[in-house]
């Protein structure tokens, strides 16, 4: 129950943080008797925002831009990796390991070839929806089925996969950081253009000159605010979400590596549990209860009776 009560605040942390930035900045401006309408400068926003979009298009391929958009949206969602998520994956691994131990690794071939119709994976819809994790696990178990790798080689394969996925998740983070670094400079560009316009108005009414100077300074204000108050924090949050995804793959790697070296199913998942960060690690009691109450291990298929009879007749 304690975790459920904290689910909504976790969901709202990013939104509350962004709102706090704007409330603090605008609130301080209003306390100093500032006119909020002075900050409404569409031309400055067009210069800063439009130039930032252009930089993104020049520096990144479409695939990275799509990742940036999806990442920016996911930054305002609750973290997908929590203790319950790790608990579900460990229970699923326990089911897989127990089935392989009882029925043999060859019997598990159909499950890794078609996870959606698997006797085990079909009971875990979250796993089936998570394509990168699903491919990582099934490709690794497929190598166990083939039987051409040693535990050390299997561990190296998983390490290569984890690193490749980490680089892919880092691409939108690096792109967002690049945009954040460029925003203060774009704000200066907008301010310089505003100063140019102000110089053209020299000799006019003081009120007009003052308005144009204020508009020019708003460009610098927007660039710095968007850099340190919006884009930079979103990039940092997206990076942390990527680290959480890599941590899940690392936990799966620990469990599979331990089982490949000969550990029992319960010991293999205990190796995995110990590798989870403390703040996300379910207790051993939680894992034991989940395995005992919710684990669904398919029955071992019975051998084909005619084939078994022929096998008994041939030696005679």
Residue 196: the pLDDT is 87
- Give residues with Cβ within 8 angstroms of 205, minimum separation 6: none
The DSSP secondary-structure symbol of 280 reads G
**pLDDT for res 50:** 92
Tokens of 299: 């029955």
Q: How buried is residue 1: exposed, middle or buried, by Cβ count under 10 Å (0-12/13-18/19+)? A: exposed
Q: Which pLDDT does position 259 carry in this prediction? A: 93
Which three-class secondary structure state does DSSP give residue 150?
Answer: coil
Report yes or no on 94 lying in a domain. yes
Contacts of range 269-277, beta carbons closer than 8 Å, 24 or more positions apart: 269/90, 269/91, 269/93, 269/94, 269/97, 272/90, 272/93, 273/86, 273/90, 275/250, 275/251, 276/86, 276/247, 276/251, 277/247
Q: What is the pLDDT of residue 316?
A: 39
Q: For residues 298 and 98, what is the distance between their CA atoms, to the nearest angstrom?
A: 9
Buried b / exposed e over 162-172, threshold 16 CB at 10 Å, is beebeeebbbb
Q: Is residue 27 part of a domain?
A: no
- The sign of the torsion formed by the CA atoms of 228, 231, 235, 238 equals positive
Please, is 58 exposed, middle or buried when counting C-beta atoms within 10 Å of its C-beta (0-12, 13-18, 19+)? exposed
15 inside domain: no
Phi then psi for residue 205, to 5 deg, are -65, 140
Spatial CB neighbours of 231, under 8 Å, sequence gap ≥ 6: 176, 179, 180, 183
Residue 34 lies in a domain: no
Residue 6 maps to a domain: no
Q: Up-side HSE of residue 205: CA atoms within 13 Å toward CB?
A: 3
Sign of torsion, CA 153 156 160 166? positive
Each residue's pLDDT expressed in tens, for the chain with a length of 316 residues: 344 444 445 556 778 888 888 889 888 888 888 888 888 888 888 999 999 999 999 989 999 999 998 888 888 877 778 889 999 999 999 999 999 998 888 888 888 999 999 889 999 999 999 999 999 999 999 888 887 778 899 999 999 999 999 999 999 999 999 999 999 999 999 888 888 888 877 777 777 787 888 888 888 999 999 999 999 999 998 998 889 889 999 999 999 999 999 999 999 999 999 999 998 899 999 999 989 888 888 887 776 545 444 544 444 3
Q: Which domain holds residue 155?
A: 41-299
Radius of gyration of the chain (CA): 28
Q: The tokens 């299997």 sit on which residue?
A: 154
Asked if residue 195 lies in contact with residue 18, where contact means CB atoms within 8 angstroms, the answer is no
The verdict on residue 210 lying in a domain is yes
For residues 266, 268, 274, 276, the Cα torsion angle rounded to the nearest 10 degrees is -110
pTM, two decimal places: 0.80
Is residue 11, in this structure, part of any structural domain at all?
no
In-domain check, residue 305: no
pLDDT in the model for residue 309: 44
Q: Give the per-residue pLDDT at 304.
A: 58
| 70: its two tokens | 């999806």
Query: How many domains, in total, are found in the chain?
Result: 1
Beta strands in 57-98 (DSSP E): none
């Amino acid at each position: 129950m304690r975790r459920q009560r904290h689910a909504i605040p976790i969901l709202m942390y990013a939104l509350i943080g962004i709102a706090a930035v704007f409330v603090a900045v605008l609130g301080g401006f209003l306390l100093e008797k500032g006119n909020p309408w002075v900050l409404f400068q569409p031309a400055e926003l067009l210069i800063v925002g439009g130039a930032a979009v252009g930089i993104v298009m020049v520096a990144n391929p479409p695939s990275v831009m799509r990742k940036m958009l999806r990442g920016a949206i996911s930054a305002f969602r609750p973290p997908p990796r929590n203790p319950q998520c790790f608990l579900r994956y460990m229970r699923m691994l326990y089911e897989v390991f127990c089935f392989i131990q009882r029925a043999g690794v060859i019997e598990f071939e159909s499950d890794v070839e078609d996870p959606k119709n698997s006797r085990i994976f079909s009971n875990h819809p979250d796993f089936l929806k998570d394509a990168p994790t699903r491919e990582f696990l099934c490709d690794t178990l497929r190598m166990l089925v083939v039987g051409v790798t040693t535990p050390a080689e299997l561990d190296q394969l998983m390490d290569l996969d984890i690193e490749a996925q980490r680089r892919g998740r880092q691409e939108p983070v690096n792109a967002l950081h690049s945009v954040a670094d460029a925003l203060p400079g774009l704000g200066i560009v907008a301010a310089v253009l505003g100063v140019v316009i102000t110089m053209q108005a020299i000799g006019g009414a003081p009120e007009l000159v003052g308005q144009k100077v204020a508009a020019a300074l708003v460009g610098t204000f927007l660039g710095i605010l968007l850099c340190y108050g919006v884009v930079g924090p979103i990039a940092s949050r997206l990076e942390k979400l990527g680290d959480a995804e890599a941590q899940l793959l690392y936990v799966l790697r620990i469990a599979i590596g331990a089982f490949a070296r000969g550990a029992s199913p319960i010991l293999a998942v205990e190796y995995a549990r110990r590798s989870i960060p403390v703040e996300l690690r379910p207790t051993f009691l939680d894992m034991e209860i989940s395995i005992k109450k919710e684990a669904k291990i398919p029955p071992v298929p019975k051998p084909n009776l005619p084939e078994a009879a022929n096998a008994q007749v041939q030696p005679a």
